[in-house]
Structure 1
Amino acid sequence: MSRFRPGRFVGILTGTVVILGVGVYGPATLLGPLPAATMTVVTPDAVVSTLSPPVLPAAGASAVVTLGLARPASDAASTSVEADATTPAVEAVTPIAVGGTSEALPMASIAKVITALVVLDAKPITDGVGPTITLTAADYQSYLDYSNQFSRSLPVFTGETWTEQEMLQAMLLGSSNNHADSLARWAFGSVDAYAEAATDWLAANGLSGTRVVDATGLDADSVGTGTDLARIAALAATDPVVSDIIAHPASALAGRGIDNRTEFMSDEGVTGLSNSYTDAAGLCLLFTAQVVSGDSTFVFAGAIVGEPDQDTLDADMAALLASAQAGVAELPLLASGAAYASFDTEWGETASAVVGVPKTQVGWQAVATGAADVTVDAFATGRKGETIGRVQVETGDGSTVSSPLELDRTIRDPGAGWRLLNPGPVIGALIASRS
């Protein structure tokens, strides 16, 4: 009969625990998951533009703004641009450049473009032509008054009928002062009531630097800043009725005696929205222009007010267009190889998440993007070039672009030695993987 030996029992128990421990610890550390790499979001260096900046006059007031998204050149039959869900509100549009004074200056017939937008806001055209307007004795008298003052006017007669579209054509293309007043009276009851409505409309659109006191712009107290007037050019160019009138002037000329007074440097890709003069305002131009770059067309809108003479305006516009030809190019939004995250591991491996597929946009100067939205799946090891997530940024025009993120170097398994000597992180990763 054998006797109980405490020492032998302790030895067997210890050996069993060791064997079991090795049996569990070894597979757990050698075969278990590794702790995930720690991610830190980083901001890549800003793109430095060396392109030609917009050249604007030092005198008067002027500004240019980007007009919507660049389009394929084959689709750019005209510079009229349709507004879409990605077009930012006009008050959010930052000018590409501003020239001259920041003070509000008299704007001449640019005021008629505002009249068109305010009237269309109150009396929208939904069928292509709008309602029929019967002209009154006041409309006929307005024509006589402007004719006697040698101001731009088009003949009308009491009882004559015009559609809203025809009235707008006469005002915008022919710069008819009497048609501007007639539209204001028809839509709001009086020119004074129109001025009040226009004030509200300007405030609602964030155009605090512009003031109108009449429908024609003949009054020197109807004034606007270069920045506001460039934004108004963008609004006009994206309004379906106004842009259609500007793009198809021939439809307004037949039978109404309307001369198109908006045309300006059309052979150079410019579309005039308003081209006018008063003694107080000087020469004033509201326009859009386009520049072809590769397979895309870049479109911008602008205003130049307070020019002393036609030669100066022609020279200043030629300089602006030359700077556009030199400055518009394919610019990076998400540059190839740009790092948007860095990774560190418990065993000392490091890597970065870099843009795998570059994204560009035709633009003028460096494209400012919003904060990056980085999404990465948790990982511990990975090969160089392996896709591990995505980055998305908002562009200056309100749209978004994204690209896959790739590892710029391989993160390797640390090996058996590190696993066996660092049980804490390995066991922690195993527990986390099962929770």
Structure 2
Amino acid sequence: MPVTPGGKASDGTRADAGALAGVEECEEAPDVSLEALGSVATTTDASPGTVVPGSPAGTPAGPVSGTSPDREAAGTGSGRDTPVERLEDPGNSATERGTGRPGVAEKTLEQALPSVLADGPPKVLAELARAPQRSRAVRRDGLRRMGIATGLVALLAVVFCAVQVLRPLPGPALVMTGAPSYTIAGAPLTPAWPGEGEAAVEVEGVGSLGAYGDQKPIPTGSMAKVMTAYVVLQDHPLKNGDDGPVIAVDAQTAKESTAPGESTAVVAEGQRFTERQMLQLMLIPSGNNIARLLSRWDAGSDAAFLGRMSGAARQLGMNDTTYTDPSGLDAGTRSTAVDQIRLARAAMQDPTFSAVVAMPRVTIAGVGQIDNNNTDLVDPGVIGIKTGSTSAAGGNLMWAAQQTVGGSKQLILGVVMAQHSAGASDYGLAKALAVSQKLINQVRKALTCTTVVHRGEVVGYLDDGVGGRAPVVAGADLTVIGWPGQSTQLTLSAPVTGLPHRAKAGTTVGTIALRTGQAAGTEVPVVLQHDMTTPGLSQRIARLR
């Protein structure tokens, strides 16, 4: 039956409230959105007799405030008014509530219902039923998204764990826990340096005690013969005590035997001596004529041999040394004490050379007994090396001594240069010998052997790279030979073959060594104090590298 805006049926009777009561037969529905109502609301008054959602069943909409008494009387018939509250804040009518979209006019339920009701109850029911369906769809979408996210997180966790377990373990590393250096106890040793010239002292393989003087090139005197012997033995080495080839004395060498103003070995033309004997004639009595003979025999000429001497000096790092003759008589042959120490170190490694220079005297057939100019050789601990004295050079001595320390012999090397003695015929050689002997006695007395690390002492740990650490201990006593005040460096090194992730206690995993002087010092193995196990599953997963 059609309803007129006045609330009456077209036949003049009031609309049957029961015809609309079907609305109340639905389940309780959520509030109808303003958009749903606004899409159909076109009038400003609700017809009397229409049902307001949310009102008691069968109760028609009451009059709106400000209506006439007649409209109030035509209400529900229940004798009371039921005002309808606005759905939106009247003070914010320019904005659709909940959306923030401006320009949408707000409408009260009184204004919206007539248009909805004009389409009949089915339209109202459809709008009311659609709201809970949309709400359930939103909930389903949220749960579905949450399930997908949870699955992705779980998948990522599985992938991460698999990658951590399967990727290679980092290589283990040895880490030292102790101090990286050690200083020998006692008052520091101060060498008894000469008051003039230059000097230098070192203990072979242990370290240098320092140098004295400006270390500017000065004449070497007959110390140059050490380089001559070194080059000859490099070109014509003698092994296993051999005497070497036979060399004949030429006329020039015989003539120079009696040259005034220089040291010579008296020989005659045609005499034949072995290479070893020639070295003895040159180094023990300091024969200049033999030095020149050997240079011609080795290289063909003095000039060619000087090139060999200069080349050897460069190889040994003697950058402040110049050779102008093989004997050292020429004042142009110059060097420093530090450079001559380098030469002494290299020359003493040759057993033939070291045997010859250690001889206080020698007897050679056809020549007789020859005494060594190095009188310090009367000391049993002194084993060389070579004197040298001229008016330009003064007194010079390159020396070597031995001292037994900690059960092993230590080689002490020294050079004293440019010692002068006014009016003396030896040009200061005696002074050089005296100064050298004082240095030899001082260093030999000061040398000591000290235990730096005891066997079984923890020196570090083996880091497996994933948080595991196994202590390592010294496999034997580590000792150092030196003098009071000397500092040495401690290093912990892994083997070139690499380190294990799993090993039993006592397994050797590296070395700990003392580094002193120009070469490596002593070293001992380091072993695991406890078993080292392969990293477990949890360690593999939790590791950062």
Query: TM exceeds 0.5?
Result: yes
Matching residue within 234, 241, 244 for 1:121: 234
Deviation at 1:248, TM superposition (A): 4.5
Deviation at 1:403, TM superposition (A): 2.3
**For residue 41 of structure 1, what is the aligned residue in structure 2?**
175
Percentage of matched positions with identical amino acids: 27
- Identify which of structures 1 and 2 has the higher relative contact order when contacts are C-alpha pairs closer than 8 Å and 6+ apart: 1
User: Of residues 243, 250, 257 in structure 2, which corresponds to 1:136?
Assistant: 250
Query: Does the 8 A contact of 2:178 with 2:460 survive in 1?
Result: yes
What's the TM-score once normalised by structure 1's chain length? 0.69
Q: Provide the alpha-carbon RMSD of the alignment.
A: 3.7
1:392, 1:400 within 8 Å by CA — same for their partners in 2? no
Is the 2:183–2:488 Cα contact (8 Å) retained in structure 1?
Answer: no
- Report if the CA contact (8 A) 1:58-1:100 is conserved: no
In structure 1, the partner of 2:353 is: 242
C-alpha contact (below 8 Å) 2:173/2:465 kept by paired residues: no
After TM superposition, list the pairs within 5 Å mapping 1:17-416 onto structure 2. 41-42=175-176, 44-45=178-179, 46-51=181-186, 52-53=188-189, 55=191, 56-57=193-194, 59-67=196-204, 95-126=208-239, 128-144=242-258, 146=259, 149-248=260-359, 250-253=361-364, 255-257=366-368, 258-267=370-379, 269-308=381-420, 309=428, 312-332=431-451, 334=453, 337=457, 339-341=459-461, 352-364=471-483, 365-369=486-490, 372-373=493-494, 377-378=500-501, 387=506, 389-393=508-512, 395-396=515-516, 397-398=519-520, 401-407=523-529
Decide whether the 8 Å contact of 1:263 with 1:271 is kept in 2.
no
Please identify, of 250-259 and 133-142, the stretch whose mean Cα deviation from structure 2 is larger: 250-259
Q: Which residue of 2 aligns with 1:13?
A: none
Equivalence for 2:68: none
Structure 2 SS opposite 1:159: coil
Retained in 1: the 8 A contact 2:357–2:386?
Answer: no
Give 1:252 shift.
3.9
Change in 2 beyond 3 A, CA 1:260/1:323: closer
* Aligned 8 A contact 1:282 1:307 in 2: yes
State how far apart, in whole Å, the 2-side matches of 1:156 and 1:311 are: 27
SS at match of 1:264: helix
8 Å contact from structure 2 (residues 492, 510) kept in 1: no
Please identify, of 174-183 and 240-249, the stretch whose mean Cα deviation from structure 2 is larger: 240-249
Partners in 1 of 2:493 and 2:307 — Cα distance?
43
The farther-off stretch of 53-62 and 349-358 is: 349-358
Residues 324, 189 of structure 1: alpha-carbon distance in 2 compared, 3 angstrom cutoff: same
Task: State TM-score, norm by structure 2.
Answer: 0.56
Distance, in Å, in 1 between the alignment partners of 2:419 and 2:290 is 26
Whole-angstrom distance in 2 between the partners of 1:358 and 1:284: 42
Q: Corresponding residue for 1:27? A: none
For the 8 Å contact 2:283–2:386, the answer to whether it is kept is yes
Change (3 A) 1:254 1:264: farther
Q: Retained in 1: the 8 A contact 2:277–2:364? A: no
- Displacement of 1:176 in angstroms is 0.7
Q: 2 CA distance for matches of 1:378 and 1:98? A: 49
Question: Cα distance 1:205–1:43, how it changes in 2: closer, same or farther (>3 A)?
Answer: farther
Counterpart amino acid of residue 204 in structure 2: L
2:197 aligned partner, one-letter code: G
Which amino acid in structure 1 is aligned with residue 214 of structure 2?
T
Separation in structure 1 between the aligned mates of residue 285 and residue 377 of structure 2, nearest angstrom: 17
Separation in 2 of the partners of 1:314 and 1:154?
Answer: 22
Mapped to 2, the partners of 1:219 and 1:189 lie a distance apart of 20
Unpaired segments of 5 or more residues in structure 2? 1-168, 421-427
Contact 1:272–1:285 (8 Å) recurs in 2: no
